[in-house]
Amino acid sequence: MDEADVISIAREFVSKVDVSNIREDLDPYISAINAKVKFEAMEEGASGYTLTKPNGKHIIVVNSLESEERQRFTVCHEIAHVVLDLKSSHEEIPSYSIAKRHPNEICCDTFAAELLMPYKQWLANLPSKEPSLELIQYMAKLFNTSFPATASRFATLSPTPCAFVTMERGAVRYAARSASLRQARAWISSGSVIPKGSIAQSIRAINLNSTEVGEVAQDIWFENWEDGLDMWELSRHYAPSDTTISLLWFDHEDLPEKEYDRFGTQVKDDEGLTELSGVLEWSKRVKKR
Ligand SMILES: [Zn+2]
């Protein structure tokens, strides 16, 4: 099961549910899988798990000590385990490890993002502005989601080239890219160290909770990338967990010509991916105005 499969299953699931009030209340999703949610104080780092009764009813148990946004994410992540029929691997990776997250868990996170921020609602509510701290905070508040989950969603559905990088203890854990950056083959390896000269590296060095925006060279982040071009980096560091996130974006005209020409044609054939990104719907909406 790859990312595109997960997204299409999630969108199918969302399409069968009344999502008009989903930003307030996840009940329609919960009842759609014949589940009930229970809250319980758990140890730090634990978010939740699911028990399935012999009669087929699921009990999703959520850590009541985590934030409301986190609890909502956990509910949707657990729904993903049920719908995708993927086993939990919550115990396999110790919290001190920078090892890659288990593929099942990445699939369930992707699924959860589709449920919390349904793409049609997202695109209908997204102000057509340049990315900024305020814009991500606005969308986070609107969808009742955490800053990192919102920034990641922003990058994935962005009509302009954009990426979202999650880093832990100084190493890249995961990078999500917009359709245009995937087409341009912009690649950031998980496990690589936070690049020198990035905003992420400079704010992590200070070791305080902070957020900063600035211009950086594109080739410090992307592998085998043309030099001489700049892009924006909005980075936030969470000192207690030593977690850093970066939203990277640039204008279409700043995509290196070579990479785009060389690979663009080949990838344009892949209409499935383009449609899944929501970019098509976006352009239609813009043209109407
Ligand atoms: Zn899980």
Residue among 289, 277, 282, 288 at smallest CA distance from 110: 277
Q: How far is the CA of 246 from the centre of ligand 1 (A)?
A: 24
Ligand 1 centroid, distance to 87 Cα (angstroms): 8
Bridge partner list, 73? none
- The structure tokens 């905070």 sit at 137
Per-residue pLDDT, 78: 97
State the pLDDT at residue 186: 92
Contacts of 48 (CB under 8 A, 6+ apart): 42, 60, 61, 62, 63, 71, 74, 75, 77, 78
Domains of the chain with bracketed CATH: 3-114 (1.10.10), 119-288 (3.30.450)
Strand partners, 217: 230
Cα 92 to ligand 1 centre (Å): 11
Distance 256 CA to ligand 1 centre (A): 38
Question: What per-residue confidence (pLDDT) applies to 99?
Answer: 56
List of residues 6+ apart from 133 with CB closer than 8 A: 211, 213, 234
Distance of CA 36 to the CA centre of its chain: 26
pTM above 0.75, yes or no: yes
Ligand 1: centre distance to CA 32 (Å): 19
Q: What is the distance between the alpha carbons of residues 145 and 140, in angstroms, rounded to a whole number?
A: 5
Q: What is the mean pLDDT of the chain?
A: 86
CA distance 89 to 148: 22
Which residues does the chain have with pLDDT short of 50? Answer: 95-96, 98, 258-289
Distance between CA 105 and CA 134 in Å, rounded?
Answer: 29
pLDDT score at 187: 93
| Residues linked to residue 216 through DSSP beta bridges, in sequence order | 231
Q: 164: Cβ–Cβ under 8 A, 6 or more apart, which residues?
A: 151, 152, 154, 155, 156, 175, 176, 177, 245, 246, 247, 248
